[in-house]
């Protein structure tokens, strides 16, 4: 597996997590390098969403250690806020703020968390909206946009904090088929620009094309991992073979 190099930006050791009596993570150990694009796949209920939500501590893990960018995740609130500012997240349901315009959605966090001056954050937000292809929608409200456009705004909003890592939690699962491509295009461009990304998705084409590494989750742990070629052509584990035979 990954060596102990200096460029490991996320280190997970035996991460375990329970929801009541149900064990969602049964011991996840992995390291993710800077600029690496990791795609997480697996059947529903396998713990893949819980895993990436532990990385920015939207869920608190109960055993094991998670170190992000050299900071260990503990209950220390200040560390958590610091890490969340460095880790962008894109949700399945977009979670844009419906009472704010697209521009305000993007500038809110830079203004109040990074304390960026208004003019600067506005200019940066317009740049990002241009990058995701919707600068003309800046003054509209999220409710006036299509699902694909909303998800692209959500990506711009996360990028506005200049994060070191981007987490994607099934970013295309709530979209109409004709809108999936526009979101995946933005994500591909992001991967090519050298962003560290962890993507939970059911888009196998995206995994094959963009991922550096694929993690296959089941029963709350990593069952198999490897490069996309290895993973899709010669999987070793029976569980992986069964999963792939069902979806491909």
Partner 1 sequence: MTGRIVLPDTEPERPPEPPPHGPIVWAHENLFSTVASGILTVVVGTLVVLFLVGVLGFIFGADRRWDAVFFNTRLMMTQAYPEDQYFRVWLSLGIIVSLTGLSLAVWQVGGRVSLNRITRLLSSIGAGLIGLEVLGPFSIRARVIGILIGLVLIGGSYLVKRAAGERAKQETIPLMAIVGIVPALGVVALYVLRIPTRLAEDNYAEQVLAPIANSTRIPITVLFVVGVVAYSVGVLMLDRMPNATARVALVGLWVLSLPAIVLTILRDPELDYDKILAIPGFQEGYLWWAVIFAVGGSLLITYLGSPARGEGGRAIGGLLVVVALASWGVSMLVLIRLFLLFLATFALAAPTFGGGEGRARARIVGLWVMTVAAAAYFVVLVSGPSTVQVQTTFFIGGLFLSFILAIFGIVLSFPLGVLFALGRTSSMPIFRLMCVAYIEVVRGVPFITWLLTAIIVFPIFLPLGVQVSNVVAVLVMTVLFSAAYLAENVRGGLQSVSGGQIEAAKALGMTTAQTTVFIILPQALRAVIPALVGQVIGTFKDTSLVIIVGLFDFLAIARNVIPNQRVPFNNLDALTEPLMYAALVYWIFTFSFSRASQRLEKKLGVGER
Please report whether residue 108 would count as binding partner 1 according to CB under 8 A.
yes
Provide the mask over 202-241, with x wherever binding to partner 1 is found by CB under 8 A and - wherever it is not.
Answer: ----------------------------------------
Nearer to partner 1, 162 or 227 (CB): 162
Alpha helix segments (H runs only) across 63-142? 77-86, 102-109, 118-131
- Which residues in the 71-90 window bind partner 1 by CB under 8 A? 78, 81-82, 84-89
Diameter over CA atoms, the chain: 56
**Distance separating alpha carbons of residues 38 and 157, to the nearest angstrom:** 21
199: β partners = 39, 168
Please report whether residue 140 would count as binding partner 1 according to CB under 8 A.
no
**Distance separating alpha carbons of residues 9 and 65, to the nearest angstrom:** 14
Contact 71, 87 (CB under 8 A): no
Residue 86: exposure state from Cβ atoms within 10 A (0-12, 13-18, ≥19):
middle
Stretch that binds partner 1, among 25-33, 154-162, 212-220, 233-241 (CB under 8 A): 154-162
**Distance separating alpha carbons of residues 24 and 18, to the nearest angstrom:** 5
For 171-198, letters b (16+ CB in 10 Å) and e give bbeebeeebbebbbebbeebbeeebbbb
Contact 66, 12 (CB under 8 A): yes
Provide the mask over 8-47, with x wherever binding to partner 1 is found by CB under 8 A and - wherever it is not.
Answer: ----------------------------------------
Q: Which of 15, 39, 161, 197 binds partner 1 (CB under 8 A)?
A: 161
Please report whether residue 70 would count as binding partner 1 according to CB under 8 A.
no
Count of residues binding partner 1 (CB under 8 A)? 43
Please state the closest distance from residue 151 (CB atom) to partner 1, in A. 12
Residues 148, 50, 80, 11: is their CA dihedral positive or negative? Answer: negative
- Which residues in the 172-201 window bind partner 1 by CB under 8 A? 178, 181-182, 185-186, 189
Please report whether residue 91 would count as binding partner 1 according to CB under 8 A.
yes
Please state the closest distance from residue 21 (CB atom) to partner 1, in A. 22
Q: Please give the residue ranges that form the binding site for partner 1 (CB under 8 A).
A: 56, 58, 78, 81-82, 84-89, 91, 93, 95-99, 108-109, 111-118, 132-133, 141, 143, 152, 154, 157-158, 161, 178, 181-182, 185-186, 189
């Amino acid at each position: 597996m990954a060596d102990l190099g200096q460029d490991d930006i996320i280190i997970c050791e035996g991460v375990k997590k329970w929801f009541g009596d149900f064990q969602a993570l049964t011991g996840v150990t992995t390291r993710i390098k800077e600029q690496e694009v990791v795609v997480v796949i697996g059947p529903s209920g396998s713990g893949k969403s819980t895993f990436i939500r532990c990385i920015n501590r939207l869920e608190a893990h109960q055993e094991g250690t998670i170190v992000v960018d050299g900071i260990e995740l503990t209950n220390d609130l200040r560390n958590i806020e610091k890490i969340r500012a460095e880790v962008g997240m894109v949700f399945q349901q977009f979670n844009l703020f419906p009472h704010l315009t697209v521009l305000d959605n993007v500038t809110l966090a830079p203004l109040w968390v990074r304390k960026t001056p208004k003019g600067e954050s506005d200019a940066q937000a317009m740049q990002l909206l241009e990058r995701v292809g919707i600068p003309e929608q800046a003054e509209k409200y999220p409710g006036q946009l299509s699902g694909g456009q909303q998800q692209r705004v959500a990506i711009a909003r996360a990028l506005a904090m200049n994060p070191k890592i981007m987490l994607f939690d099934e970013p295309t699962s709530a979209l109409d088929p004709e809108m999936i491509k526009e979101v995946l295009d933005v994500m591909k461009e992001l991967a090519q620009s050298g962003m560290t990304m962890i993507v939970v998705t059911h888009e196998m084409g995206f995994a094959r094309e963009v991922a550096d590494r694929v993690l296959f989750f089941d029963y709350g742990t990593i069952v198999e991992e490897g490069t996309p070629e290895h993973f899709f052509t010669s999987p070793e584990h029976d569980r992986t073979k069964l999963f792939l035979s069902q979806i491909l």
